[in-house]
Amino acid sequence: MSGSYNEQKRLREKADSLFHLGHSITSTWLNEARQPAYLSQEQWYTKLALKDIAEVAAADCIIVDLDGTSTSGGRYVEWGFAVGRFNMLKCMVGGDQSGVFCQLADKKYPSWDELLKEFASEYPVPR
Protein backbone atom coordinates (compact mmCIF):
# COMPACT_ATOMS: atom_id res chain seq x y z
CA MET A 1 0.00 0.00 0.00
CA SER A 2 1.29 3.41 -0.94
CA GLY A 3 0.05 6.82 0.11
CA SER A 4 0.85 10.08 1.82
CA TYR A 5 2.74 9.80 5.12
CA ASN A 6 0.30 12.40 6.49
CA GLU A 7 -2.49 9.84 5.93
CA GLN A 8 -0.67 7.09 7.86
CA LYS A 9 -3.29 6.67 10.60
CA ARG A 10 -6.22 6.49 8.15
CA LEU A 11 -4.38 4.08 5.89
CA ARG A 12 -3.45 1.80 8.82
CA GLU A 13 -7.19 1.24 9.25
CA LYS A 14 -7.52 0.33 5.54
CA ALA A 15 -4.57 -2.05 5.82
CA ASP A 16 -6.23 -3.67 8.84
CA SER A 17 -9.39 -4.18 6.78
CA LEU A 18 -7.38 -5.88 4.02
CA PHE A 19 -5.55 -7.98 6.61
CA HIS A 20 -8.88 -9.16 8.06
CA LEU A 21 -9.84 -10.27 4.54
CA GLY A 22 -6.75 -12.51 4.63
CA HIS A 23 -4.27 -10.38 2.69
CA SER A 24 -0.67 -9.84 3.78
CA ILE A 25 0.43 -6.23 4.09
CA THR A 26 4.10 -5.48 3.35
CA SER A 27 3.82 -1.71 3.90
CA THR A 28 5.86 -1.27 7.06
CA TRP A 29 5.78 2.54 6.59
CA LEU A 30 2.29 2.42 8.09
CA ASN A 31 3.95 1.70 11.46
CA GLU A 32 7.25 3.46 10.84
CA ALA A 33 9.61 3.88 13.77
CA ARG A 34 11.33 7.18 14.43
CA GLN A 35 14.71 8.00 12.97
CA PRO A 36 17.49 6.52 15.13
CA ALA A 37 19.88 9.11 16.57
CA TYR A 38 22.91 7.40 15.02
CA LEU A 39 21.67 7.98 11.44
CA SER A 40 21.85 11.30 9.65
CA GLN A 41 18.72 12.55 7.88
CA GLU A 42 20.25 11.58 4.54
CA GLN A 43 21.11 8.05 5.76
CA TRP A 44 17.62 7.63 7.23
CA TYR A 45 15.88 8.73 4.02
CA THR A 46 18.11 6.42 1.97
CA LYS A 47 17.23 3.44 4.18
CA LEU A 48 13.51 4.29 4.07
CA ALA A 49 13.50 4.63 0.29
CA LEU A 50 15.32 1.33 -0.26
CA LYS A 51 13.06 -0.46 2.21
CA ASP A 52 9.92 0.88 0.57
CA ILE A 53 11.07 -0.17 -2.91
CA ALA A 54 12.00 -3.65 -1.62
CA GLU A 55 8.51 -4.00 -0.14
CA VAL A 56 6.90 -3.06 -3.45
CA ALA A 57 9.13 -5.63 -5.18
CA ALA A 58 7.96 -8.32 -2.73
CA ALA A 59 4.26 -7.58 -3.22
CA ASP A 60 1.73 -9.17 -5.57
CA CYS A 61 -0.41 -6.04 -5.57
CA ILE A 62 0.04 -2.33 -5.01
CA ILE A 63 -2.76 -0.07 -3.88
CA VAL A 64 -1.96 3.62 -4.24
CA ASP A 65 -4.10 5.95 -2.17
CA LEU A 66 -4.37 9.31 -3.94
CA ASP A 67 -6.18 11.15 -1.15
CA GLY A 68 -4.18 13.63 0.87
CA THR A 69 -1.24 15.77 -0.16
CA SER A 70 1.99 13.98 -0.98
CA THR A 71 4.81 15.15 1.30
CA SER A 72 7.69 13.19 -0.24
CA GLY A 73 6.54 12.00 -3.65
CA GLY A 74 7.15 8.43 -2.46
CA ARG A 75 3.80 7.09 -3.58
CA TYR A 76 4.58 8.17 -7.15
CA VAL A 77 8.04 6.59 -7.07
CA GLU A 78 6.51 3.36 -5.75
CA TRP A 79 3.80 3.51 -8.43
CA GLY A 80 6.43 4.03 -11.12
CA PHE A 81 8.41 1.06 -9.88
CA ALA A 82 5.25 -1.08 -9.74
CA VAL A 83 4.05 -0.30 -13.27
CA GLY A 84 7.24 -1.88 -14.60
CA ARG A 85 6.23 -5.18 -13.00
CA PHE A 86 3.87 -7.09 -15.27
CA ASN A 87 2.94 -9.77 -12.72
CA MET A 88 1.52 -7.34 -10.17
CA LEU A 89 -2.06 -6.13 -9.70
CA LYS A 90 -1.97 -2.32 -9.75
CA CYS A 91 -4.83 -0.44 -8.07
CA MET A 92 -5.59 3.22 -7.39
CA VAL A 93 -8.12 4.53 -4.93
CA GLY A 94 -9.53 8.00 -4.26
CA GLY A 95 -8.10 11.30 -5.44
CA ASP A 96 -7.54 12.46 -8.99
CA GLN A 97 -6.98 9.42 -11.20
CA SER A 98 -6.85 11.26 -14.51
CA GLY A 99 -3.07 11.59 -14.93
CA VAL A 100 -1.30 9.88 -17.80
CA PHE A 101 0.41 7.31 -15.56
CA CYS A 102 -2.87 6.62 -13.74
CA GLN A 103 -4.02 4.99 -16.98
CA LEU A 104 -1.60 2.16 -16.23
CA ALA A 105 -3.72 1.01 -13.27
CA ASP A 106 -5.40 -2.37 -13.62
CA LYS A 107 -8.19 -1.24 -11.30
CA LYS A 108 -9.43 2.18 -10.20
CA TYR A 109 -11.72 2.76 -7.24
CA PRO A 110 -13.35 6.05 -6.27
CA SER A 111 -13.41 5.01 -2.60
CA TRP A 112 -11.95 2.53 -0.15
CA ASP A 113 -15.41 1.11 0.48
CA GLU A 114 -15.63 0.04 -3.16
CA LEU A 115 -12.10 -1.40 -3.15
CA LEU A 116 -12.69 -3.39 0.03
CA LYS A 117 -16.02 -4.70 -1.24
CA GLU A 118 -14.42 -5.94 -4.47
CA PHE A 119 -11.38 -7.39 -2.71
CA ALA A 120 -13.71 -9.35 -0.39
CA SER A 121 -15.55 -10.94 -3.32
CA GLU A 122 -13.06 -10.98 -6.22
CA TYR A 123 -9.75 -11.60 -4.44
CA PRO A 124 -10.55 -13.95 -1.59
CA VAL A 125 -7.62 -15.48 0.22
CA PRO A 126 -7.85 -19.19 1.04
CA ARG A 127 -7.58 -19.82 4.76
Q: How far is CA 119 from CA 14, 49, 89, 115, in A?
A: 12, 28, 12, 6
Terminal Cα distance for the chain, rounded: 22
Predicted confidence at residue 77, as pLDDT, reads 92
Alpha-carbon gap, residue 17 to 71, rounded angstroms: 25
Domains of the chain by start residue, with CATH: 5-122 (3.40.50.450)
pLDDT at 126 exceeding the cut of 70 = no
Predicted confidence at residue 68, as pLDDT, reads 85
Predicted confidence (pLDDT) per residue in 63-96, tens digit: 999 998 887 888 899 999 999 988 999 999 999 9
Dump the DSSP string for 26-95. --GGGGPPPPPTTS-HHHHHHHHHHHHHHHHHH-SEEEEE--S--SSSHHHHHHHHHHT-TTSEEEEESS
Predicted confidence at residue 6, as pLDDT, reads 85
Q: What is the mean pLDDT of residues 57-62?
A: 94
pTM confidence score: 0.89
Cα–chain center distance at 80: 12
